Amino acid sequence: MHSATLTLDPAFVVGPVRRRTFGTFVEHLGRCVYTGIYEPGHPTADADGFRGDVLELTRELGVSTVRYPGGNFVSGYRWEDGVGPVEDRPTRLDLAWHSSDPNTVGVDEFLRWSKASGTEPMMAVNLGTRGVQEALDLLEYCNVPGGSFWSDKRRANGAADPYRVKMWCLGNEMDGPWQIGHKTAEEYGRLAAETARAMRMMDPNIELVVCGSSSSAMPTFGEWERVVLSEAYEHVDHVSAHAYYWEEDGDLASFLASAVDMDHFVESVAATADAVRAAGKHTKRINISFDEWNVWYQQRAESRPPTDDDWPVAPVLLEDRYNVADAVVVGNLLISLLRNTHRVHAASLAQLVNVIAPIMTEPGGRAWRQTTFHPFALTSKHAAGEVLRVAVESPVQETTRFGDVPVLDAVATHDAETGEVVIFAVNRSVTEAVTLDVDLRGFPGLQVVEALTLANPDHTWQATADDATSVLPQVNTTAKVADDRARAELPPVSWSVVRLGRA
Residue 247: what pLDDT? 75
Residues 126 and 275 in one domain: yes
pLDDT tens track for 285-308? 999 999 999 999 988 877 789 999
**CATH label of the domain that carries residue 436:** 2.60.40.1180
What is the distance between the alpha carbons of residues 28 and 371, in angstroms, rounded to a whole number?
23
Q: Are residues 149 and 124 in the same domain?
A: yes
CA distances 164 to 71, 79, 107, 159, 207, Å, are 22, 17, 13, 12, 11
Q: Which amino acid is at 89?
A: R
| Nearest alpha-carbon partner for 450 in 497, 394, 414 | 497
Q: Are 469 and 352 members of one domain?
A: no
Domain that holds residue 71: 18-382
**Which CATH number goes with the domain that contains 301?**
3.20.20.80
Supply the pLDDT for residue 147: 98
Query: Domain total for the chain?
Result: 2
First and final C-alpha spacing in the chain: 31
Q: Do 182 and 271 belong to one domain?
A: yes
Closest residue by Cα to residue 377 from 36, 54, 122, 58: 58
- pLDDT of amino acid 201: 98
Residues with Cβ within 8 Å of 343's Cβ and at least 6 positions away in sequence, in order, are: 266, 269, 270, 287, 288
SS3 26: coil
Domain C-terminal end among 345, 364, 382: 382
Among 382, 399, 418, which residue terminates a domain?
382
pLDDT in tens, 421-457: 999 999 999 999 999 999 999 999 999 999 999 999 9
How many C-beta neighbours within 10 Å does residue 130 have? 21
Q: Quick one: pLDDT at residue 301?
A: 78
> What pLDDT is attached to residue 248?
67
Is residue 71 reached through a cis peptide bond, with omega within 30 degrees of 0 on the bond before it? yes
- How far apart, in whole angstroms, are the C-alpha atoms of residue 413 and residue 384? 6
Single pTM value for the model: 0.97
Question: What HEC string does 56-109 produce?
Answer: HHHHHHCCCEEEECCCHHHHHCCHHHHCCCHHHCCCEEECCCCEEECCCCCHHH
pLDDT in tens, 328-382: 999 999 999 999 999 999 999 999 999 999 999 999 999 999 999 999 999 999 9
Determine whether 50 is exposed, middle or buried from the number of CB atoms within 10 Å of its CB (0-12, 13-18, 19+). Answer: buried
**Could you tell me if 283 and 431 lie in one domain?**
no
Q: Are 135 and 154 contained in the same domain?
A: yes
Specify whether 263 is located in the same domain as 117. Answer: yes
Greatest Cα pair distance in the chain: 70
pLDDT at 295: 97
Give pLDDT tens digits for 451-468.
999 999 999 999 999 999
DSSP calls for 336-371: HHHHTTTTEEEEEEE-SBSSS-SEEE-TTS-EEE-T
Catalytic residues, by residue number, are: 173, 292
370: number of Cβ within 10 Å: 23
Point out the domain boundary residue: 347, 382, 417: 382
Q: How many residues does the chain have?
A: 503
Question: At how many degrees (to 10) do helices 185-202 and 223-232 cross?
Answer: 40
pLDDT for residue 246:
84
Residues of the chain with pLDDT under 50: none
